[in-house]
Amino acid sequence: MNKVLDKLNWRYATKKFDSSKKVSTENLETLLNAGRLTASSYGLQPYEFFVIEDTDTRTKLRAASYDQSQITDASYVIVLANKPTFDVTMIDDYIANIMAIRGLSKDDLEGFSQTMKSTLLGLSDAHKNAWTSNQAYIVLGNLMTIAAEMEIDTCPMEGFDKAQYNEILGLTDKGLNAAVVLAVGYRSAEDDTQNYLKVRYSKEQIITHI
């Protein structure tokens, strides 16, 4: 038996959570730290995590999510928010963080800093938004996989109104944008979706070895 594939076959995009079962704060902490350890381009981490437990906020978010029940019935809703635009400050802050953590000087990092600035600062806002949003999706993938490893259920969600999420969570004022959502909890025994066979292209259709 391949344990990795067993876990990935076990996971599915949960449609109905059991609201009486709650993921422990310790497991949530592990999951969030796993998310924080996700790789990002240059290591810039151009996103933040918002963990929503508050009932009133979740009721509002559900209304902004085509009434999908996962938003109120999961243990937690994690909103991954990307930076829709950025300037030199984001790069300078990151360089300062590396200096502090690795005990390096500004001069040590000047080449790296200039590389990031010349590559990223000239991008259009639309391109910056797409690029930082892509980074947030890498976090999403990691969170889903790690959760499955821990036998915690998740539902990745794009079915929501970003403008409404930004308003409800005050993200725009923080220079952020709701990129994608992950509901985290335990599946309901009544969720028939858990019994559906996986629909995936075959290896022959989707993988090319060169």
Ligand X SMILES: Cc1cc2nc3c(=O)[nH]c(=O)nc-3n(C[C@H](O)[C@H](O)[C@H](O)COP(=O)(O)O)c2cc1C
- φ, ψ of residue 27 in degrees (nearest 5): -65, -35
Q: To which H or E segment does residue 183 belong?
A: strand 177-185
Residues 160-189 that bind ligand X (CB under 6 A): 180
What is the DSSP secondary structure assignment for residue 198, as one 8-state letter?
P
| Binding of ligand X by 158 (CB under 6 A) | yes
Q: 38 with 146: CB under 8 angstroms?
A: no
Q: Which is nearer to ligand X, 68 or 94 (CB)?
A: 68
- φ, ψ of residue 161 in degrees (nearest 5): -90, 110
| Binding of ligand X by 15 (CB under 6 A) | yes
3-state SS class at 191: coil
Cβ at position 13, least distance to ligand X in Å: 3
| Binding of ligand X by 148 (CB under 6 A) | no
| Binding of ligand X by 159 (CB under 6 A) | yes
Output the residue with the shortest Cβ distance to ligand X. 159
3-state SS class at 12: coil
Rg of the Cα trace of the chain? 19
Binding mask 41-70 for ligand X (x = CB under 6 A): ---------------------------x--
Residue 180 exposed, middle or buried by CB count within 10 Å (0-12, 13-18, 19+): buried
Q: Among 81, 157, 168, 178, which residue sits at the site for ligand X (rule: CB under 6 A)?
A: 157
Euclidean distance between CA atoms 185 and 70, whole angstroms: 9
Binding mask 189-208 for ligand X (x = CB under 6 A): ---------x----------
Cβ at position 199, least distance to ligand X in Å: 7
Residues 105-134 that bind ligand X (CB under 6 A): none
Q: 78 with 28: CB under 8 angstroms?
A: no
Q: For residue 52, list its beta bridge partners.
A: 77
Q: Among 13, 34, 63, 109, which residue sits at the site for ligand X (rule: CB under 6 A)?
A: 13
Q: Which is nearer to ligand X, 72 or 94 (CB)?
A: 72
Q: Which residues sit at the interface with ligand X, rule CB under 6 A?
A: 12-13, 15, 68, 155-159, 180, 198
